[in-house]
């Protein structure tokens, strides 16, 4: 489903729905979610970084954003990708 009850709206914006799931992300999507989506795609599982972030932040009640930022920084350092 593409609906967030918490935000009362779409998880994946209309402008990104046409993209393949692994390419559905914006400037505020975590690097961790983007890398997870690409890793899952290599084993045949399609996942949207927007949706990965939504599930993670939903389960952690928003407090998970702090360790996520640290993980993003580590991934960025290792992979030379910008967060």
CB 71 within 8 A of CB 32: yes
List of long-range contacts for 17-20, beta carbons under 8 Å, 24+ apart: 20/46
**Two structure tokens written together for 81:** 């990708």
Domain extent, residue 9, equals 3-79
pLDDT of residue 80: 80
pLDDT of residue 83: 64
Q: What is the pLDDT along the chain (83 residues), one digit of tens a residue?
A: 899 988 899 999 999 999 999 999 999 999 999 999 999 999 999 999 999 999 998 899 878 888 999 999 999 999 888 76
CB 22 within 8 A of CB 49: yes
Identify the three-state secondary structure at position 13.
Answer: coil
pLDDT of residue 20: 97
* CA torsion, ordered 70, 40, 62, 7, to nearest 10 deg: 140
pLDDT of residue 28: 93
Q: How many domains does the chain have?
A: 1
N-terminal to C-terminal alpha carbon distance within the chain: 26
């Amino acid at each position: 489903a593409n609906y967030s009850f918490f935000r009362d709206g779409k998880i994946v914006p209309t402008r990104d729905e046409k993209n393949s799931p692994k390419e559905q992300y914006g400037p505020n999507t975590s690097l961790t979610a983007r890398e997870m989506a690409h890793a899952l795609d290599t084993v045949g599982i399609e996942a949207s970084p927007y949706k990965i972030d939504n599930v993670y932040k939903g389960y952690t009640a928003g407090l998970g954003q702090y360790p996520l930022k640290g993980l993003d920084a580590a991934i960025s350092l290792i992979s030379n990708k910008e967060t």
